[in-house]
Amino acid sequence: MLEEIRQQPQALARTLAAELRGVEKFKRLVEKKRPRLVVLVARGTSDNAALFGRYLLEITTGIPVSLAAPSITTLYEARIDYRDALVVGISQSGESTDTNLVLERAREQGALTLGITNESGSAMARIAEHVFLVRAGREKSVAATKTYTGQMLMMYLLAYALGGGVAIAELERLPELVNASLTLEPEIDALSERYRFMRHAVVVGRGLNYANAFEMALKLMETCYVVAERFSSADLMHGPIALIEQNFPVFAFTPPGKTWPSIGETLAKLQGLEAEIVAITDGGNRDVAKYATKIIRLPGRIKEVMTPIPYIVPAQIFAACLAEKKGLNPDQPRTLSKVTLTL
């Protein structure tokens, strides 16, 4: 897992270089007929990438985005009107049975279909009309890391193709930003020792980093067997804050920008409850020091829209290091396999 976390700068650079031409071709296609709706369909870590995509695409393009519920197709066999819609399947392996069935039915019903996968020879790559390939290389660890950030990169490229004003020059900086995140590994490894006996935690994010709260919680659950609840800072205040007591661990994504005022207000309340707050942030947010118990601070200042990929890397490192401290193997979590087939 750690090895694959460290491969992310190269994987991102390789994916961007290899896929840009195809993305430009797709951009010309959708410029002729802009979809009225985007539907994203995925499971597991890929579903967290889709959740990020929902925020990014709606913020940058103004096109409504829906996250598909595969059981509507696979169990209830409902026919969905996908006319003038773009349906995007996201899967690391490209072999997720329910994701592929939704994609197949959507294409039959007249949708424009796009598959995002790490496997060029997969069923998804055959089913979808168009394919964006994540070029992460083989991912051996059951806990997905480099494919998650590769899928997030594809969400930026899709936003670009749909006229979302995402600058390719900014995307080209992502490998450098992730490299900077990787320099924090010794610091994060030392921090993880404190949480060796952690059994429960809450992870908080909002807006573009809301999906990262889900992804960090998933990594803590599947690799460290920590019961990790994930909330937006807004939802936390609507009841779940009752969970929090003295020394309860809360991990928070705290970029500067639009979401900081509400997240800062939430952290102030958590501080009043004497929670132990670990904040992931960058040099653009100095106010977080008023509330956080521990800070994982990325070097430099990062525009809020570009924070999600570099911000998830410290969370990935933390989960991998914590698993080691707990004497667990994050590459082979109990009862899990790399490809999960569900209907």
Summarised one tens digit per residue, pLDDT across range 153-188 is 999 999 999 999 999 999 999 999 999 999 999 999
- Which of 187, 208, 178 is closest to 278 using CA atoms? 187
> What pLDDT score does 343 carry?
57
Q: Where does the pLDDT of residue 237 fall: very low under 50, low under 70, confident under 90, or very high at 90 and above?
A: confident
The span from the CA of 96 to the CA of 58, in Å, is 26
Among 72-81, 112-121, 125-134, which stretch is predicted with the lowest mean pLDDT? 72-81
The span from the CA of 15 to the CA of 150, in Å, is 7
19-53 burial: b if 16+ Cβ within 10 Å, else e? beeebeebeeebeeeebebbbbbbbbbbbbbbbbb
> What pLDDT score does 306 carry?
98
Residue 336 has pLDDT above 80, yes or no: no
What string of DSSP letters covers 117-164? ES-TTSHHHHHSSEEEE-------SSS--HHHHHHHHHHHHHHHHTT-
Output 235-242 pairs: Cβ under 8 A, ≥24 positions apart.
Answer: 236/202, 236/204, 236/266, 237/266, 237/269, 240/202, 241/269, 241/270, 241/273
Write down the number of H helices and E strands in the chain.
Answer: 14, 10
The span from the CA of 303 to the CA of 257, in Å, is 8
Sheet of 227-232, strands arranged across: 227-232, 200-205, 249-253, 276-282, 294-298
Residue 51 has pLDDT above 60, yes or no: yes
Residue 340 has pLDDT above 90, yes or no: no
| pTM for this entry | 0.95
Residue 221 has pLDDT above 70, yes or no: yes
Q: Where does the pLDDT of residue 335 fall: very low under 50, low under 70, confident under 90, or very high at 90 and above?
A: low
Residue 337 has pLDDT above 60, yes or no: no
**Residue extents of the structural domains in the chain:** 2-172, 180-325
CB 153 within 8 A of CB 12: yes
Q: Give the count of beta carbons closer than 10 Å to the beta carbon of residue 66.
A: 14
- Which of 339, 313, 325 is closest to 2 using CA atoms? 313
Q: Where does the pLDDT of residue 234 fall: very low under 50, low under 70, confident under 90, or very high at 90 and above?
A: confident
Residue 222 has pLDDT above 80, yes or no: yes
> What pLDDT score does 341 carry?
55
Q: For residue range 287-333, what is the model confidence (pLDDT) as tens digits?
A: 999 999 999 999 999 999 999 999 999 999 999 999 999 999 988 87
> What pLDDT score does 331 carry?
87
What is the sign, positive or negative, of the torsion defined by CA atoms of 252, 290, 180, 319? negative
Q: Is the domain 180-325 a CATH 3.40.50.10490 member?
A: yes
Residue 32 has pLDDT above 60, yes or no: yes
Query: What single DSSP character describes residue 82?
Result: -
Question: Facing residues of 37 across strands?
Answer: 85
In sequence order, what are the residues at sequence separation of 6 or more whose Cβ sits closer than 8 angstroms to the Cβ of residue 242? none
Q: Is the domain 2-172 a CATH 3.40.50.10490 member?
A: yes
Tell me whether strands 112-117 and 227-232 are parallel, antiparallel or unpaired.
unpaired
The span from the CA of 151 to the CA of 134, in Å, is 7
Residue 77 has pLDDT above 70, yes or no: yes
Instruction: Measure Cα distances from 98 to 73, 88, 92, 102, 151 in Å.
Output: 8, 13, 14, 6, 18
Percent of the chain with pLDDT over 70: 97
Residue 2 has pLDDT above 60, yes or no: yes
